[in-house]
Amino acid sequence: MGRKRVLRIPKIASITCRACTKVCTRKVPLDASPGYFDCDGCGVRTVVPVTACCVICAFTKKKCVPALRLEAHRLGLEVR
Ligand SMILES: [Zn+2]
Ligand SMILES: [Zn+2]
């Protein structure tokens, strides 16, 4: 086979508000790790815990693009 494995970059992430449990959809920034998000429903700002990378890494099943690139580099995968 010899095809290089690819790690797909997610385009959107669904983040659940801690205050009202509304699921908010956000575009995943290509070169940033978002440190907070403002809820579409109640407006409450959710801030990343100091131990976490960003709201995408902390509150969704996905990872932010910088974290994905690091992981891909470590595993020898191609990022797309
Ligand atoms: Zn909310
Ligand atoms: Zn992250």
pLDDT tens-place string over residues 6-61: 988 999 999 999 899 999 999 999 999 999 999 999 999 999 999 999 999 999 99
Distance between Cα 3 and ligand 2 center (Å): 28
Rounded CA gap, 40 and 65, in Å?
A: 23
Sign of CA dihedral 56, 57, 60, 64: positive
Per-residue pLDDT at 1: 55
Residue 38 CA to chain centroid, in angstroms?
15
pLDDT class for 2, splitting at 50, 70, 90?
Answer: low
Distance between Cα 7 and ligand 1 center (Å): 31
Model confidence over 65-79: pLDDT tens digits?
999 999 999 999 998
Per-residue pLDDT at 4: 78
Sign of CA dihedral 45, 68, 13, 29: positive
8 A C-beta contact, residue 24 and residue 41: yes
Distance between Cα 68 and ligand 1 center (Å): 27
| Nearest ligand by distance to the CA of 17 | 1
Q: Model's pTM, two decimal places?
A: 0.84
